[in-house]
Amino acid sequence: MSTELKTVEGITKESTQAMIDEVLELYPEKGKKKRAAHLAPNDQASGSACVKSNKKTVPGVMSARGCAYAGAKGVVWGPIRDMVHVSHGPVGCGWYSWGTRRNLMSGITGVNSFPMQFTSDFQEKDVVYGGDKKLATLLQEAKDLFPLAKGISVLSECPVGLIGDDINQVAKVAAKELDIPVIPCNCEGFRGVSQSLGHHISNDTIRDYIIETREFPEPIGPYDIALIGEYNIGGDAWSTKPLLEECGFNVKAVWTGDGEMDRIAATHQVKLNVIHCYRSMNYMCKVMEEKYGIPWIELNFFGPTKIRESLRKLAELFDDNIKAKVEAVIAKYDPQMQAIIDEYKPRLDGKKVMLYVGGLRPRHTINAYEDLGMTCVGSGYEFAHTDDYDRTASEMPDATVVYDDASEIEMEHFAHILKPDLIGSGIKEKYLFQKMAIPFRQMHSWDYSGPYHGYKGFPIFARDIDMAVNSPTWKLVEAPF
């Protein structure tokens, strides 16, 4: 890793702190005190977190955060394509998270792939009398109507935990009767402070109910790996999985993008876990390391520099056969990527980007922008922990602003001062900044584009960033009269 200090002209620790102090002045005393710990200038050399994180959201601020259910349904469980995922509780949660993450799936919908909204649609009487009976009935109905489903997950919404239903018992009985795995996931939205606990709870349920329940019929080979924390947003896994295969690996399972339950359940047999989204899946990597001795490695598939670095880091763990293949892959794609850089960099060089995303991309995409000549002038996460911020410090230029669980007013203020040429964040932020005539890309959903991962993704990423920054439409915002 480079130890060279990256700086941005005009940005010093003092200027960043002054900007932070200004925005904190907008808060009442108590709110100011709480938020102060979550905003700080980056200390690149330290390589460690400069902000507090994973704390309760301050009430009354416009936070972008979701809940534990969102982390469980939307992130970890939802992408497993051959399971029925039941949103257990009132109709809303499942409806809002239906098709809104872009974790694409293979298969035939309703036959062997289930990107649908299954819910117990709780009514008043279910809240009063409990929903366990209803759950038992609906599990049977799901099995009858979707006989090729490999399993069913039951994802609890708030009321279920509050009224004291025992979904674990219902699931246990149903699993026996239906002869398929029925996974109870107690991921009620009120648990924890963000999506993050939902990831953790889901990892735990995979540990308790899934892993080691299947075995690959074929013998295990030296290059058998699993790709963890790849959710196939806009087809990302359809870029990264073939790339790893081209490098000589057998990708036995993807967690969980376009994922298959059986393969996830047999992952305890692989030789190495390759993790992309550390925040949402590090827990199971650690479990598999402790329980089965499977090592794991964090990679970054955004932009040619990081891809190259990652593939070499990966090859280091393997023999000359893999090393040779990896070098051949790099040699094959580097010129293609250079051509992309040559095309777009002249139009993007020196442009500034501010990021605010979930738990990975605020650090993982920084270098991809740098590949295009851009500079990151601010970054932060909705639901990261200290270990994520530790990993962020060295990626971001020194003294640039880091914000944790940023509120809209903070983002707005920073954007006013920093005047970025692009903001990469989510749907709730998109239109606010576009009204300010700041180009914007949704960096959760790739703004209905993608993939952005791997060599297949970078040309699309570069095209999209250029399109956003250099669209002639921005010039029309100011009327001539």
Q: Which of residues 417-446 bind other proteins (CB under 8 A)?
A: 426-428, 430-437
Q: Report DSSP letters for 3-29, one per residue.
A: -PPP--TT--HHHHHHHHHHHHTTS-H
The site string for other proteins over 172-211 (x = CB under 8 A, - otherwise) reads x--xx----xx------xxxxx-x------------xxxx
To the query of whether residue 437 is one of the catalytic residues in this protein, the response is no
The verdict on 162 binding other proteins (CB under 8 A) reads yes
* b/e burial code for range 358-383 (CB count within 10 A of at least 16 → b): bbbbbbbbbbbbbbbebbbbbbbbbb
Strand partners, 223: none
Of 16, 44, 53, 119, the residue at the interface with other proteins (CB under 8 A) is 119
| Spatial CA neighbour of 427 closest among 175, 97, 137 | 97
Closest approach, Cβ 412 to other proteins, in A, equals 7
Q: Which of 101, 102, 191, 385 is catalytic?
A: 101
Binders of other proteins among 291-350, rule CB under 8 A? none
Residues sharing a CB contact under 8 Å with residue 156, sequence separation 6 or more, in sequence order:
69, 88, 89, 165, 167, 184, 185, 186, 187, 188
Q: Which stretch binds other proteins (CB under 8 A): 46-54, 86-94, 275-283, 387-395?
A: 86-94
| Spatial CA neighbour of 403 closest among 394, 413, 340, 212 | 413
To the query of whether residue 67 is one of the catalytic residues in this protein, the response is yes
The verdict on 221 binding other proteins (CB under 8 A) reads no
The verdict on 5 binding other proteins (CB under 8 A) reads no
Closest approach, Cβ 277 to other proteins, in A, equals 19
Of 13, 65, 313, 463, the residue at the interface with other proteins (CB under 8 A) is 65
| E strand spans, 262-307 | 272-275, 296-298
To the query of whether residue 70 is one of the catalytic residues in this protein, the response is yes
Task: Note whether 441 and 464 are within 8 A (CB).
Answer: yes
d(CA 176, CA 227): 30
The verdict on 15 binding other proteins (CB under 8 A) reads no
The verdict on 67 binding other proteins (CB under 8 A) reads yes
Binders of other proteins among 348-407, rule CB under 8 A? 407
Looking at the Cβ atoms of 133 and 312, the one nearer to other proteins is 133
The verdict on 33 binding other proteins (CB under 8 A) reads no
* Both structure tokens of 478: 């100011």
d(CA 383, CA 70): 12
Q: 208: how many CB neighbours lie within 10 A of its CB?
A: 12
Looking at the Cβ atoms of 27 and 278, the one nearer to other proteins is 27
The verdict on 280 binding other proteins (CB under 8 A) reads no
To the query of whether residue 376 is one of the catalytic residues in this protein, the response is no
Closest approach, Cβ 379 to other proteins, in A, equals 20
Angle at 71 (CA atoms; ends 146, 359), nearest 5 degrees: 135
Closest approach, Cβ 112 to other proteins, in A, equals 5
| Residues labelled as active-site residues | 67, 70, 101, 199
